[in-house]
Amino acid sequence: MSFTATKFATSPLPLNFTTPRSNDKPLSFSFDHSRLNPSSSFLGSTRKLLRFSAPTRASSSSSSPVAAVLLQPTSNLLITKEEGLELYEDMILGRFFEDKCAEMYYRGKMFGFVHLYNGQEAVSTGFIKLLKKEDYVVSTYRDHVHALSKGVSSRAVMSELFGKATGCCRGQGGSMHMFSREHNLLGGFAFIGEGIPVATGAAFSSKYRREVLNEADADQVTLAFFGDGTCNNGQFYECLNMAALWKLPIVFVVENNLWAIGMSHIRATSDPQIWKKGPAFGMPGVHVDGMDVLKVREVAKEAIERARRGEGPTLVECETYRFRGHSLADPDELRDPAEKEHYAGRDPITALKKHLIENNLGSEQELKAIEKKIDEILEDAVEFADKSPLPPRSQLLENVFADSKGFGIGPDGRYRCEDPKFTEGTAHV
C-alpha cells in the first residue's frame, strides 16, 4: 500500500444527506458502487466509500493500490490475533475510561469542561498503536484517550482529571491539557488549532536533528490530531504549507465527527471535503472510514511509514462520530436523533468484536476477560486518584516563570523575591 501527492487522494463524501450544496457539480466515480455494502456507508453520505484521484485530472481507468485496500471488506485487512486483541483492549480502555469519567464528573469529582471521546476510538487506536515510544502525539481538548493510547497510565490520567498532584501534569493541566514528556505526548490544547504549530515544530525538530545534526536515530514521526472545526483556521493552512515545503515527518489527522460543538460541518465550510486540502499543498489527502479501526490502521500505517522514510506529510480525514455531546455540559439537543441512532449502530468497538470472533482472532471469553481487566484497572485508577493529595500551594507559580520561585532573577543573579525591597508597597497584594 502506497500513495503520493500526485496520484493519491480519497473519495469525497458530502457530509449531510439532507442538506444540498448549491454550487456542487455531480461527482464522478470510476468504480462500481454495487461492489460496496450499502449498510457501511455514512449517514451523511450520498456517495459510497471510497475513491482515490489525483489533485489534477487523471484518467478514470487508472487505479491506486490504496483504493484497492480501502474498498475491500474489513475482513481482508489482515491482522494477527495478538494485534487484534491489542486493538480491542486499547479501544475498550478508551471507552470504559470515558464512561468512568462521566460517572465521576456527575459525582462531583471533576470540574470544568470535560470532553469525552466515545465513538471515536478507532481513530486513536488505529493511529497511535502503530507509533514508537519516541514518536510524538499532539492532541486537542478531547485528549484523554490519545494519552491512554500513547501509554500514559490510567492512574496518571484519572488523577489529572481529579486535579491531584499524582496526575500527569501534577494536577495543573486538567481535562484539556494532558501532557507527558516520558511518552512524548506534547499536550492537549484547549483552543482549536493551537496544537498544529506545536506538532509542526516537533516534526521540524526531528528533521533538523537527523539532517543537520546527523543524529541517526532521529526518525520520530509526529501525529497532529484536530477536528473538522479547526480546518477553517489559518494556522492549519500555514502548517500544511510548511510541512509540505520542508517534507516534514508529520501526519495531520482530522477527526471529522461532523459537528463543531453545535455547528454542522457542512453549514460552516464552503467545501466540506477536508481531504482535498492535502493535494492543494502537494501532499496526499486521504479520506477513511473513521468508524473502522482496521481501515484507519491501514491508512495510518502507510502515512506513518512514508513520513519515517522522509517522504513528507499526509493529511488524513477520518469521518467519525462522537456518541456524547460536545462536553459533559452539553445536553446534545441539536443533533438529529436519527443521525445519532445511525452512528450508534456503527459502533467501532462492536464492529471490531464481531470481526475478531468471526475470523477466529478472539473468543467471547477472551474479550470478556479483557473487559474485566479494564474494569479492574479503572476501579484502581479512581481509588488512586481519590486518595491522592492535592497540589501544594507552593506549586502554583512553578512552570510559569524561568525560575522555580516564580518571580524572576535580578541583575545580581539573586531571586527578586529574596530582595526585601521587592515587595515594598505591594504587601497588600
Number of CB atoms found within 10 A of residue 64's CB: 22
What is the domain-level CATH number for residue 339? 3.40.50.970
Do residues 328 and 417 both lie within one domain?
Answer: no
- Could you give the maximum distance between any two Cα atoms of the chain, in Å? 81
Q: Look at residue 396 in the predicted model and tell me its pLDDT.
A: 76
Cβ 385 vs Cβ 163: under 8 Å: no
The verdict on 398 and 380 lying in the same domain is: no
153 and 127 share one domain: yes
Q: How many domains, in total, are found in the chain?
A: 2
Residue 394 vs residues 169, 397, 406: alpha-carbon distances, Å: 15, 7, 10
Residue 76 within a domain: no
Residue-level pLDDT at 423:
59
pLDDT digits (tens, 9 = 90+) for 343-393: 999 999 999 999 999 999 999 999 999 999 999 999 999 999 999 999 988
What's the pLDDT tens digit per position in 311-339? 999 999 999 999 999 999 999 999 999 99
List alpha helices for 130-264, DSSP H: 144-149, 154-161, 195-211, 234-246
Q: Name residues whose C-beta falls within 8 Å of residue 188's C-beta, 6 or more positions apart in sequence.
A: 139, 140, 141, 142, 143, 146, 147, 173, 175, 176, 177, 178, 179, 195
- Segment 62-78 mean pLDDT: 44
Claim to verify: residue 282 and residue 422 sit in the same structural domain? no
Residue 358, domain member (yes or no): yes
For the chain, the average pLDDT equals 83
**Residues 186, 311: one domain?**
yes
Same domain, 339 and 361: yes
Residue with cell 505526548: 185
Q: How confident is the model at residue 78 (pLDDT cuts 50, 70, 90)?
A: confident
Grid cell 479492574 in the structure block, residue? 376
Taken in order 38, 47, 224, 296, the sign of the CA dihedral is positive
pLDDT value, residue 399: 72
Residue 9 in any domain: the answer is no
**How many residues in total does the chain contain?**
429
Cis peptide before 396 (omega within 30 of 0): no
Whether residue 281 is contained in a domain is answered as: yes
Task: Convert the pLDDT of each residue in 44-55 to its tens digit.
Answer: 333 333 333 333
What's the rounded Cα separation, in Å, for the pair 308 and 302?
A: 10
286 falls within a domain: yes
Does residue 321 share a domain with residue 401?
no
State yes or no: pLDDT of 24 exceeds 80: no
- At which of 372, 387, 402 does a domain end? 387
408 and 262 in a single domain? The answer is no
- With cell 506545536, the residue in question is 198
At residue 222, the 3 state secondary structure works out as strand
| Average pLDDT of the residues in 390-401 | 78
Residue span of the structural domain in which 413 resides: 394-429
Number of neighbours of residue 30 by Cβ within 10 angstroms: 14
Is 64 contained in some domain? no
Q: Is residue 121 part of a domain?
A: yes
The answer to whether the predicted template modeling score (pTM) of the entire model surpasses 0.85 is no
Same domain, 299 and 423: no
**210 and 87 within one domain:** yes
Based on the fold, state whether residues 373 and 399 are members of the same structural domain.
Answer: no
| Same domain? 86 vs 161 | yes
Residue 103 within any structural domain of the chain: yes
